[in-house]
Structure 1
Amino acid sequence: MASASALSDPQFDLEVLSSRPAPPCAKPVEVDALDTRQPARMRFVARCPAGKGWRQDFLVRARISAQVAVTAAPVGANQPLAEADLALERRDITQAPDAIGDLALAVGQSPRRSLRAGEILRSGQLAAPLVVKRGDQVLMVARHEGIEVSMAGEALDAGARGAVVRVRNAASGQVVRMRVAGAGTVEPVDLPVSRR
């Protein structure tokens, strides 16, 4: 979880919940995870390989905290986030597995709903801002080996950078699928993504 979310300085506090202590074992106890999907309620099994041995199940509760992005002030829905809107704070993220640990991953994104000051930013709350809206006049640009061809079109779908949208060619009326390259610009889906 910590590495997948690019969390900064994660800390884990574990509490073993058991009704009885494990009996002694003459050899090192073997421990295997049974279910670790929910940090607040993980299941492990401990086995003693010595003699007749024994097996005992344990519940383990984890509390996870890390430096994560939070809103520094209230932010409206669909308003692109600026660096001034964000702060890094240590928070309990046990119930927020998609918390964002790097401010750069949130800057420029837009929250799907209004956020209060101090709210943890989660990747599921954010979307890339729409740079092409349905009905916008767009420039259809194709670049290949130093040759560039462009023509006017009309976006039939809205999309963020990198999204595939339908575009009507203004000259021919033909509808084609294009990738959003930037504000008011689309490019053919079958060409490599433009870095310009």
Structure 2
Amino acid sequence: MILKSITPSVTPMRKNLFRLAFVGLSLVCAPVKSAPSDAQSQVENIVRKSAQSEIKQLAQTQGWGKYDVQLETVIPQEASALAACQKPLVVSPVSKRLLYRLRYEVKCPAAQDWTLTVAVKTAVNVPVLVAAQTLERGQVIAAADVVMRVQDIAPLNGQFFNTPEEVLGQTVKRRISASQVVNVAQLEQPVMVERGQSVLMVARHQGIEASTTGEAMKQGRKGDVIRVRNISSQRTVDAIVVSPGVVQILTVPGK
């Protein structure tokens, strides 16, 4: 059975990991006005609602924007022989699931006292970033190199981008074919500091900021921690690369 819904997102955020693990989360759904008269229908209704709610929350958290979802429930055959539950069913997500196959434990807390594990196969179509043409290793990504295209993200394990701004200026780490979904593993930040380069060293301590000139002892990308030698004092310190030719000292000399 297929169900479609389109829901807008309100908060754009970068994704990190897509593997779902809602340990300890329990969803309780009250009976609908026209309560199903058999257990199989009860299970199907509550599992669909749970999957819809879960996907909607994920869409809002990860900033998908508009999306289209298709759900197909896989209910065990023994459900057809069970008596309808006389109390609201309790459904709990089974941990360590992937988006393309969500699994739930459905329990009847009434005298009937039965429990089923139900799977929900999903297809979630979302606009994601793909390569406009083949991108070669070492290439710095520009706006013309990528386009947005609707793809089923359920099997992607969270490895995709929602906006071009997330990848502009990054360097291609491995070849990306035309129309291929661009993911985090394929990219890296560009080199912002070369070994031996003169850099601006910025230090902040107790609300006071000072800067001086240093020499990078190692190549670095944004966020990398490298060793830098202070030209004036000849002291070598750890610093984090913050922008092209600029590093921030992590430890204040003499402190």
Asked if Structure 1 and Structure 2 have the same fold, meaning a TM-score greater than 0.5 normalized by the shorter chain, the answer is yes
Distance in structure 2 (CA, Å) of the matches to 1:80 and 1:39 = 31
Match of 2:212 among 128, 142, 150: 150
- 1:95 counterpart SS class: helix
Q: In the alignment, what sits opposite 1:12?
A: 69
Q: In the alignment, what sits opposite 2:187?
A: 126
Q: In the alignment, what sits opposite 1:102?
A: 163
Distance in structure 2 (CA, Å) of the matches to 1:103 and 1:164 = 27
Cα 1:5–1:113 change in 2 (3 A) is farther
Length, aligned pairs only: 190
Q: In the alignment, what sits opposite 1:57?
A: 117
Cα 1:25–1:146 change in 2 (3 A) is closer
The offset of 1:147, in angstroms, is 7.2
Q: In the alignment, what sits opposite 1:194?
A: none
Distance in structure 2 (CA, Å) of the matches to 1:141 and 1:50 = 66
Q: Larger strand proportion, structure 1 or 2?
A: 1
Deviations 1:88-128 (A, max 9, x none): 11001112213111221111222221111111122233222
Distance in structure 2 (CA, Å) of the matches to 1:155 and 1:179 = 11
Distance in structure 1 (CA, Å) of the matches to 2:188 and 2:65 = 22
The alignment's TM-score, normalised by the length of structure 1, stands at 0.81
Q: In the alignment, what sits opposite 2:104?
A: 44
Cα 1:162–1:67 change in 2 (3 A) is same
Cα 1:7–1:158 change in 2 (3 A) is farther
Q: In the alignment, what sits opposite 1:2?
A: 59
Q: Is the 1:8–1:102 Cα contact (8 Å) retained in structure 2?
A: no
Q: Is the 1:64–1:93 Cα contact (8 Å) retained in structure 2?
A: yes
Cα 1:5–1:126 change in 2 (3 A) is farther
The offset of 1:67, in angstroms, is 0.6
Deviations 1:72-96 (A, max 9, x none): 1111223221111111110011122
Distance in structure 2 (CA, Å) of the matches to 1:141 and 1:187 = 5
CA RMSD of aligned residues (A): 2.6
Distance in structure 1 (CA, Å) of the matches to 2:208 and 2:112 = 75
The alignment's TM-score, normalised by the length of structure 2, stands at 0.64
Cα 1:186–1:50 change in 2 (3 A) is closer
Query: Which residue identity lines up with residue 44 of structure 1 in the other structure?
Result: Y
Which 5+ residue runs of structure 1 have no aligned equivalent?
A: 192-196
Pair 1:72 & 2:132 matched:
yes
Distance in structure 2 (CA, Å) of the matches to 1:20 and 1:148 = 71
The offset of 1:56, in angstroms, is 1.4
Which 5+ residue runs of structure 2 have no aligned equivalent?
A: 1-57
Q: Is the 1:36–1:43 Cα contact (8 Å) retained in structure 2?
A: no
The offset of 1:39, in angstroms, is 1.9
The offset of 1:19, in angstroms, is 3.6
Pair 1:25 & 2:25 matched:
no
Q: In the alignment, what sits opposite 2:196?
A: 135
